[in-house]
Amino acid sequence: MNMEARIRGIGMTSRRTRIRLANRLQAAGINDEAVLDAIIATPRHLFVDEALESRAYEDCSLPIGEGQTISQPYVVALMTQLVLNSSQAGKPVRNVLEIGTGSGYQAAVLAHLVDQVYTTERISSLATRANDRLRRLGYSNVRTSYNDGVNGWTEKAPFDAIVVTAAMEEIPDGLLQQVRDGGVLIGPIGPQSKSQQLSLVRRFADQPARYEQIEGVRFVPFVSGRC
């Protein structure tokens, strides 16, 4: 099958199956049409191993190797919706940094909706695989980096939004500083061995950050250092 045909998919990986997933996400509370369109446009079956392709449009997380997971589509859609809705004074969200590339799926969904996505991953094999996949699929507005996300991506800061897709006990020093004045950091905060609160933290240059808890989630841990 050529790449075009693989992206379209057939049967359990077809566009019709993606539309059914989007309908389920809408019923679960995702109401931003642009986010639902991005879910339909992103071939999640190409972000998991072939053996799991037929399960790619179930609303659940799946293993991607190295003890890590591709997040549940509902959580990806929710975080994406929070990013888009975070814009203020009519200014669109243009650049987003993701910490925790994993399979590259969250970065790909975001890439349909913002100008530029930066994404960083601490596990070498995952970073390489995700970068190859995103290049093959033509996501030219995603830049990947094999790095410890604790450092953010200083050269490209500030960001309109930072999305963290691993569980943090607390937000690492310095990461929030890479969010522009009025921008947001979105991610799971709480004990790494239990569930966390998906949180939206709005940073201000001249006053303390404002924390908002969105809902309970369960993510793999945020870990320091590359491997």
Ligand X SMILES: C[S@@+](CC[C@H](N)C(=O)[O-])C[C@H]1O[C@@H](n2cnc3c(N)ncnc32)[C@H](O)[C@@H]1O
Tokens 């020093």, located at residue: 173
**Nearer to ligand X among residue 55 and residue 182 (C-beta):** 55
Other CB atoms within 10 A of residue 181 CB: 10
Q: Is 152 in the site for ligand X (CB under 6 A)?
A: no
Taking CB under 6 A as the rule, which mask of x and - marks residues 5-44 in contact with ligand X? ----------------------------------------
Binder among 57, 74, 153, 219 for ligand X (CB under 6 A): 219
**Nearer to ligand X among residue 88 and residue 124 (C-beta):** 124
Other CB atoms within 10 A of residue 123 CB: 21
DSSP character string of 31-46: --HHHHHHHHHS-GGG
Q: Is 73 in the site for ligand X (CB under 6 A)?
A: no
d(CA 148, CA 42): 26
**Number of residues binding to ligand X, judged by CB under 6 A:** 25
Tokens 């243009």, located at residue: 94
**Active site includes 54?**
no
Other CB atoms within 10 A of residue 67 CB: 9
DSSP state, 72? P
Considering the complex, what minimum distance in angstroms separates the CB of residue 206 from ligand X? 29
d(CA 209, CA 27): 32
Q: Is 187 in the site for ligand X (CB under 6 A)?
A: no
Q: Is 53 in the site for ligand X (CB under 6 A)?
A: no
List residues near ligand X by CB under 6 A: 68-71, 99-100, 102-103, 105-106, 120-123, 126, 148-150, 165-166, 219-220, 222-224
